[in-house]
Amino acid sequence: MRTIKACLFDLDGVLVDTAVYHFKAWRRLAQTLGIDFTEHDNERLKGVSRVRSLEIILEIGGQTLPQEQMLALCEQKNTEYLLDVAQMTPDEILPGVVDFLKALKAEGIKIALGSASKNAQLILERTQLLPYFDAIIDGRHVTIGKPDPEVFLKGAEALGVLPSECVVFEDAVAGVEAAKNGDMLCVGVGQPEVLTQADVVVKDLTEMSVARLRELEQKG
């Protein structure tokens, strides 16, 4: 049996929904390259880095570009995305998030962010979620993307807990795999038929509580 001492959260699709902003920015960029980029295609970008996202879009369009041009396009996309993010408010926090974070704090359970986004801190500031977090590990702190567990292992280290004492909350298959690769329990946020490796799947954090978290300890 495990003892849960910390919860590590992905950002997009778990705490807030910035997916629509990412999609709009990537679609605009794809259009400049003459590539038709759909919402279905966008599913492949969940949980992966900015550079890898552009690589996928180029694969869809059957194109290749020099590394220098790719990096410039990634910066262009991020600039447009940040214009949208700068307008975010607490109204864009997903259901159940604040109540669950408050419950974790009251129970003395540590909280960290584990996200590929390099804009995570800005988003947490804009949505007023930042004070709940004891550590933030984002795209600026990792060199290997999910499904490698680096982001979550660094989160555990920053919190001073063992990986086996952590529960990860993820909405992406790669993120769930990263949690399991790091010997962590995982709560999938989304569809059970997609997040098949998660220990339990919820539609959103309205279905989570400290009591349900304690039930997960039995899965250890």
| Catalytic residue ranges | 10, 12
C-alpha–C-alpha distance, residues 144 and 146, integer Å: 7
Strands 6-9 and 200-202: unpaired
The amino acid that residue 171 corresponds to is D
The candidate with the shortest Cα–Cα distance to 47, out of 154, 215, 189, 162, is 189
Burial of 146 by CB count in 10 Å (0-12 exposed, 13-18 middle, 19+ buried)? Answer: buried
Strands (DSSP E) contained in 5-130 are 6-9, 110-114
